Amino acid sequence: MKLAIFELTDCGGCALNVLFLYDRLFDILEFYEIVEFHMASSSRSKEKVDVALVTGTVSTQRDLEVLREARNRSEYLIALGTCATHGSVQGSVENAKEAFRRIYGHVKGPTKVLEPRPITEYVPVDFAIPGCPYNKEEMFQVLMNLARGVEPVAKDYPVCLECKLNEYECVLLKKGIPCLGPVTAGGCNAQCPALGLGCIGCRGPSMDANVPGLVEVLKEILPEEEIARKLRTFTRW
């Protein structure tokens, strides 16, 4: 099978995370030929691919063109990382053009600046793997399933369930630490609560998330404007 990895506007961490598979990357190469991956190679390709991984937000006209190319060339397209699935941090910027002007002045960029949005706003996506960064083991398993002809299954439970399965102490109820675990999609194995930290919601909302209920609990700890900021940091869209 042929695999291509397309990078839009982001920090670069999602593409780098593929390389952080280390030896397991060779397991992927037993099933896939990677025909395009700018983080690792300068080679370019225009051929059709079986699977495309797309990272980052659509923040420029160039991003939009790359995204449409990825969709047109691929049989199966995966949104990889919270930038691609929900817009992430740069998606919370309410006026990207003004922010660009404040940072760079009136210098015109090489491409038209757009309001940062997830790729799901522009093209159909076959599967989404959220996370900032995403769980690379989850990505590995999804690619292996596709290579074997098995349709991957999205996580339909919150981070809270993973805390319970790992027998972690609840940082929200026991320690009074703000935590978005009750309304955030699982799949990270509750990495932040495992370290005694509150979940920051980087995987986006879980299915059937009871946001109003969590807000009532968080009001005992935080002012409402701070709660709102936490909820929209990664998922304003």
- Per CATH, which fold does 2-148 belong to? Rossmann fold (3.40.50)
Q: Which residues of the chain are in CATH 3.40.50.700 domains?
A: 2-148
Model confidence at 95, pLDDT cuts 50, 70, 90, reads confident
Q: Give pLDDT, residue 103.
A: 81
Q: Name the residue type at position 2.
A: K
Q: Give pLDDT, residue 105.
A: 79
Q: Helix count (H) and strand count (E) of the chain?
A: 11, 7
Q: Give pLDDT, residue 91.
A: 82
Q: Give pLDDT, residue 226.
A: 95
Three-class SS of 12-71 = CHHHHHHHCCCCHHHHHHCCCEEEEECCCCCCCCCCCEEEEEEECEEEEHHHHHHHHHHH
Q: Name the residue type at position 102.
A: R
Residue with tokens 């935590």: 179
From the list 165, 167, 169, 199, the residue with the least C-alpha distance to 184 is: 199
**Cα of 128 vs its chain's centroid, Å:** 8
Phi, psi angle pair for 51, to nearest 5°: -135, 135
Residue 100 exposed, middle or buried by CB count within 10 Å (0-12, 13-18, 19+):
middle
pLDDT in tens, 165-203: 999 999 999 999 999 999 999 999 999 999 999 999 999
Share of the chain above pLDDT 70, in %: 98
Q: Which of 58-67, 105-114, 172-181 has the lowest mean pLDDT?
A: 105-114
What does pTM read for this prediction? 0.92
Q: What angle do CA 117, 138, 2 make, to 5 degrees?
A: 80
**Whether the bond into 133 is cis, omega within 30 of 0:** yes
Give the span between the Cα atoms of 154 and 227, in whole angstroms: 27
